[in-house]
Every structure is written in structure tokens, then in C-alpha cells.
Amino acid sequence: MTTQLTYRQNPPLHDLYRAFMTGFSDYIISFQFDEQTFEDVFLVRDQNQPSRSIVAYDGEEPVGVVLSGIAYLDSEWVTRCGGLAVAPYVRKLGVATELMQRFDEDAKGARLLEVIQGNNAALSLYQRLGYKTTREIYYFQAPSLETNAHMTSEPIQTLFDQLYPTAQHVPIWQRDVRVTQQEAELVKVTEDQQEGFLLYRDHVLLDVFGHAEDAEWLLRAAASRSPLHLTLTSDRPEWIDAARRLGFVQDDISQFEMVKDK
């Protein structure tokens, strides 16, 4: 079968969706959602901008896509690849490489992406293009726990004025309220002389702010909201250890975060 490959930046939203669903049709994770859900999750919530994203076409058929978003964080630009997918029948024709090279050429500042551990083909591609693993991303489900801590709602502006500027960790893109369009609730936690902050979106713990020695106490307080899902990164080992001591269950799926310097 003859292919006629072309590439288009800022394609129609319907083509983004079709290319995404075709490219991820045999993915490790099953994506089953309609076009509106795709737009709500991958474009609005995760801040992948259609104007920066690119679709590959075989004739008129969308057969590949790279989603892209950009944000100004900590005094520098970061451009994120929010998804790379190629239809099975056009793989090994250089489509993924071409999409990533076009993404790199249009990017500003450091390039960022995540790849599921075990997706060796994608990992090999990113490494070949100069991306390096910076940390691992783990997902947990928390048991229902009780706490004696006092929890009060805190103005969300505290997050931007106080917590993000002084944080000892870098939030992952999908949980960073500075870049993603998602409602968030900030909770101040106190008990005796201890103090910390929890950032929720419904039953997802987007982030936790506090001293490493208070990790177990803060995560216990967080898990008083049940069910609870949270993400932790390998550069916060004290928090991972605390989660495991408390009986948090780690998901089977983990990711590598990869970065390419500007």
C-alpha cells in the first residue's frame, strides 16, 4: 500500500482526536472516550494547545499526532510533548521521528515529556533524539485513614504567592495548577507545632507541601479524604517511603519523566 505522508500544524480538532485514537488503539493503556472528553482532558486540563500540535496525514486520513503545550515556569519556558501516537500501519516509516523533530523545532526552552515504563520503542526514540530521564513518576491509591489533624480551607492564592515559590520539589506538569486548567482546593493542615498544605482536585491529591520529616503525618491527613489518588516522584523518596508505610498501594503503571535542554 502506497502512503502519501504530509504534516500539518494547528489541524482541526476532529483530526487531532482521530489521529490520537488511531495511534493509541493498541496502547498499554486503553483509551476509550469521545471527542468532547478528549478535548476536556488532553487539551483543556492538560494544556496541550492545538495551535502547537501537529498531525500526520496519509492522504486525507490522520495517522499520527504529537500534542504540544508551552508554559512559563520558574523564570523559564518549558514546552511539553503531551502525547505522541502513530497508527499501526504507518509505523517504522519515520512518522514518529518526523513529528518529534517538528515538535523540537517549534519548542521554546526545555522540552519535557513522560513515557510509560515498558514502552521501549518510545523510550528508545526519545533517547535517540537527545532526551534524558530526570525522574520516575509513581501513582498510588490510598487506604482510608483517620487523622487528628485540624484541616481548614485556604485561599488558592496562597498556592501561588507562598507555596510554589518556596517548594522544595518540582510538580509534574499534569498536577501543576500554574499550567493546567483544573479546579483545585487548597487545605491547610495543622497539629501541635506541625503545619503543611494539601492540594486536592476532588479525590485526587494534586500536591502536598511540607517538610520531608512530616511526610507520614501529612499523607495520613490527606488519606482522611477517601478514596484518594496521588502521584509521587522519585526525587521525593521520604514521601514514597511514608506512603508505603501507611499502606498506600502503588499502581502497576509507572512513568519516566524525560527532558531535553534548550
CATH number at 239 reads: 3.40.630
Decide if 261 is inside a domain: no
pTM of the model: 0.93
Decide if 259 is inside a domain: no
| pLDDT above 60 (res 1) | no
Going by their DSSP bridges, the two strands 76-86 and 110-116 should be labelled as parallel
Task: Collapse the DSSP code of 223 into the 3-class scheme (helix H, G, I; strand E, B; otherwise coil) and give the result.
Answer: coil
Same structural domain, 103 and 190: no
Final residue before a domain boundary, out of 83, 102, 130 = 130
Distance CA 198, CA 88 (A): 42
Q: How many domains does the chain have?
A: 2
* DSSP H or E segment with residue 230: strand 228-233
Mean pLDDT of 237-256: 97
Same structural domain, 197 and 180: yes
Same structural domain, 15 and 105: yes
Distance CA 134, CA 10 (A): 30
Domain of 126, in residue numbers:
5-130
Same structural domain, 28 and 124: yes
Query: How many residues in total does the chain contain?
Result: 262
| pLDDT above 90 (res 2) | no
Same structural domain, 72 and 184: no
Same structural domain, 110 and 182: no
Final residue before a domain boundary, out of 102, 130, 158 = 130
| pLDDT above 80 (res 181) | no
Same structural domain, 30 and 111: yes
Decide if 154 is inside a domain: yes
Final residue before a domain boundary, out of 95, 112, 130 = 130
Same structural domain, 221 and 181: yes
Same structural domain, 217 and 175: yes
Mean pLDDT of 93-109: 96
- Cα-based distances in Å from 92 to 49, 65, 69, 191: 27, 15, 26, 57
- The pLDDT mean for the chain works out to 95
Mean pLDDT of 14-38: 94
CB atoms within 10 A of CB 35: 14
| pLDDT above 70 (res 243) | yes
Decide if 217 is inside a domain: yes
Confidence at residue 180, expressed as pLDDT on a 0 to 100 scale:
85
Same structural domain, 116 and 148: no
Which amino acid, one-letter code, is at 210? G
Decide if 260 is inside a domain: no
User: Regarding predicted confidence, which is higher, 182 or 218?
Assistant: 218
pLDDT digits (tens, 9 = 90+) for 189-234: 999 989 999 999 999 999 999 999 999 999 999 999 999 999 999 9
